Chains A and B, each alone.
Chain A
Amino acid sequence: MSSILRLRGLEVHFPVRGGFGDTLLRRARLVVRAVDGIDLDLVRGEVLALVGESGSGKTTTGRVIVKLTRQTAGTVEFEGEDVSNLWSGPALRGFRRRVQLIFQDPYETLNPKQTIFDFVAEPLVVHGLGTDRERSTKVLAALDAAGLRPAAEYALRYPHELSGGQRQRVVIAGALVMDPDLIVADEPVSMLDVSIRTELLHLMLDLRKERGLTYLFITHDLSLAWVIADRIAVMYLGKIMEIGPAEAVIRSPRNPYTQALVSVSPSPDPPTQGERARRTILEGETPDAAHIPSGCRFHPRCPVAFDRCRVEAPPLFDVGGGQAAACWLAEPGGAGTVERAAPTAEG
């Protein structure tokens, strides 16, 4: 399998600006460890869902990949080339043609004073691609591909004339116009209604089929990951806790955090008594990323933590079938297995 994107030991640490008093008292500066050492491979043509709660570092990871945030350590490889230190020049522009970002909020992404045509054409202009006529052909083709038909009619409109779903289609068209290989989509549908959301997910999957796109789909919603992703990576406090095929991660999660998340992810099937009983509602809140607990960062909230978890952080253990979990209980031949019945479909 060829990786289109490879992250190794990626870290993003943000120093917290202390107050004047802190400086006077020479207090140690706090560091927010938003992303704290992750390895991730994206296979060409796949949809990988990066799932996590707020503060898990999923958005920061996406921003590093599209070169909007600088990593503090680690490497980013794209198509076998190290792009970690690519921060300017024609090479960066070349990279950006191939990797596009779709944000959550189409209302904020679009410029209210710009027509749809100008918005979609902007990257072509910035990159100096094509003549006016070629650009206009490309823009109309992108709008058409994003399902805004007839494209010529939508092209001359302004964002306020469009619905939320149509706006997000425009954002997708803006990403498509560069004919990218990889699209990082950060909560692309979470602002939209159910029926519109479904249309957009279908659009994204169709585009993958037609153009061989690869998606990094960032979301907080495990149910959404379940329906769109080939593989799911679950993040907690800047680390990947579990990764694997969607089926494995949802149906037989090996990390207690994933198990808890799956158990509380609601579904339109009214829960049975058994499901209610199996539910693990974690207490408290995710600690802030400036004060990451020792050992396994999940141990203070983990229902099955033991001594080792408090002092030593578990690496991602391969548990077979392409699934890996960062938990001592998943260690091959280790302390044992968390054979808690995973929530299943029958019930």
Chain B
Amino acid sequence: MTEVTAPPRDGRGRLLPRESDPTAPMLQVTDLAVRFKLAKGSLKAVDGVSFRLDEGQALGIAGESGCGKTTTALSLVRLLPANGRIRAGRVDLYGIDLVANDESQMRRYRWREISIVFQGAMNALNPVQRVRDQIAEPIEIRLGKSQTAARARAVELLDLVGIPKQRGLVYPHELSGGMRQRAMIAMALACDPKILIGDEPTTALDVMVQAQILQLVEGLRAELGLSLILITHDLSVIAETCDDVLVMYAGRAMEQGPVSRVFTRPRHPYTQALIRAYPNIRADRRTLEVIPGQLPDLRNPPPGCRFASRCPHVMDVCRTLTPPEVRFDDGVTAACHLYGTVSGDGSLASDPGAVADGAIGAASGPSAPAATADDDAAYGDGIEDEDRSPGEPRSADSLAGDQSRMIDRAAHTIVDERQHGDPEQRA
């Protein structure tokens, strides 16, 4: 840490913690691994997840229950349940490693730099305290404001999220679900954070109320320059609000990249299956495809790709080796052996010039050696693929022809599906 007279500021001129490095990425998560201790053994809830969040960016983390998305979110603010522990990896906020920090230091960043709106937030409000006063409380305690000043700020915040002043004086039970969710967002904004994490923020809400809340969040993002991490099982909410998406399955990142690419042209068989299993009101397709099989047991996950047992394109290598993350020219990375080690095959990237600005890449910067080396053969980042595991038996060249055929098939499955629809199901 260097002695500086002027405190560091971010790109928008906002104050940063004194010990931060304003040139470092806003949030860089590298090979995060989280274990939950169970009565018997431990559960590998998150296993080597990397992503990056830039100023003003909105990242969606998608996946089904048990994929580790909520655990990832809680790790960022170090609010894991008592039996959960970050086993490896780094969470860097402007160069400050939050994992290495102790709790008292973490308190300086939580809510002020990163805040979180919890799942089931509607029940998280204190039923016997006025809404305004609940929002004022963290301002008083964290920022050391007087009660009057804190309450005045709380009223401002309520106004910001669309709750009229008088409604702030009521108790939570007098508010509708949508209004309570707005109050929770106001509370999360109390200490003017730079990153807002929403854990299933609209899951229990009606579709019209959900649209209102998403519109609010979008507005806040623009107005306050917030960066957003949206955790949800609802692919459509991510498609609506986020720039980038990280698709998780069984504790690992399967695919990540710009929403416009990943959802229109998913590369990873899991992403493809997930999208085909998802009802889409804009598509002609009215059938849903089943993803056969079950989530692997995360107490003792199988070697290789976690999705191998359910994957329609499974190969022998998938059951033994953890797939590397392959980066495509359009900024998408997918952890899948189908794409081998080929980096940006011409036939894949329709738009080779366009590498998204906010590309969230596992590979920017030196890749930490496999965080999960104790149990996995390799968890390489695979993008430059020079430093990949020596155990990798296949060469890119020998497979190139094969691969591109498979890739083509995989990439076009969904397109075909939509064109043809399924008239039979209606019969």
Contact = CB atoms under 8 A, between A and B. Distances in A.
B211 A264 contact: yes
B65 interface: yes
Nearest to B202: A266
A227 B279 contact: yes
Interface string A305-328: 000000000000000000000000
B286 A269 contact: no
Given A195-B277, A223-B236, A347 B282 contact: yes
B211 A220 contact: no
Contacts, number: 120
Contact of B278 (A194, A270, A347): A194
Which of A53, A198, A279 neighbours the largest number of chain B CB atoms within 10 Å of its CB?
A198
B284 A223 contact: no
B414 to A, nearest CB: 10
A268 B288 contact: no
Contacts of B101: none
Which of B211, B239, B259 neighbours the largest number of chain A CB atoms within 10 Å of its CB?
B211
Contacts of A83: none
A1 to B, nearest CB: 16
Given A198-B291, A269-B239, A345 B178 contact: no
A269 B282 CA distance: 8
A18 B64 CA distance: 45
23 contacts: A54-B177, A194-B64, A195-B274, A198-B289, A198-B291, A220-B206, A226-B279, A227-B288, A261-B207, A264-B208, A264-B210, A265-B207, A265-B236, A266-B207, A266-B239, A268-B263, A268-B275, A269-B239, A269-B282, A269-B283, A270-B260, A270-B263, A270-B264
A301 B177 CA distance: 19
A53 B208 contact: yes
A43 interface: no
A270 B259 contact: yes
A345 B284 contact: yes
Contacts of B176: 285
A296 B378 CA distance: 64
B277 A194 contact: yes
A193 B233 CA distance: 8
A260 B237 contact: no
Interface of B: 64-65, 176-179, 206-212, 215, 233-237, 239-240, 259-260, 263-264, 273-275, 277-284, 286-291, 425-426
A40 B426 CA distance: 21
A108 B65 CA distance: 20
Contacts of A267: 236, 239, 280-283
Given A198-B291, A268-B235, A268-B236, A262 B281 contact: yes
A198 B288 contact: yes
Interface of A: 53-54, 193-195, 197-199, 201-202, 205, 220-224, 226-227, 230, 246, 250, 260-262, 264-271, 275, 279, 281-283, 285-286, 343-345, 347
B268 to A, nearest CB: 15
A221 B207 contact: yes
B260 A198 contact: no
Contact of B64 (A193, A250, A285): A193
B254 to A, nearest CB: 14
A286 B206 CA distance: 10
Given A227-B286, A266-B239, A222 B281 contact: yes
A238 B426 CA distance: 29
B240 A271 contact: yes
Contacts of B260: 270
A279 B218 CA distance: 14
Which of A53, A202, A345 neighbours the largest number of chain B CB atoms within 10 Å of its CB?
A345
Given A268-B239, A270-B263, 16 more contacts: A194-B235, A194-B277, A195-B290, A198-B290, A221-B207, A221-B279, A222-B281, A223-B281, A224-B279, A227-B288, A261-B207, A264-B207, A267-B282, A268-B236, A270-B239, A282-B208
A259 to B, nearest CB: 12
Nearest to A55: B206
A269 B264 contact: yes
A266 B240 contact: yes
A201 B159 CA distance: 42
Contacts of A269: 239, 263-264, 280, 282-283
Nearest to A199: B290
Contact of A281 (B179, B215, B281): B215
A268 B65 CA distance: 18
Nearest to B215: A281
B290 A202 contact: yes
A150 to B, nearest CB: 17
Contacts of B263: 268-270
Contacts of B289: 198
B408 to A, nearest CB: 21
B97 to A, nearest CB: 34
B207 A271 contact: no
Contact of A266 (B64, B234, B275): B234
B66 to A, nearest CB: 8
A202 B71 CA distance: 31
B280 A281 contact: no
Nearest to A165: B294
A260 B426 CA distance: 26
Nearest to A227: B279
Contact of B207 (A53, A193, A195, A198): A53
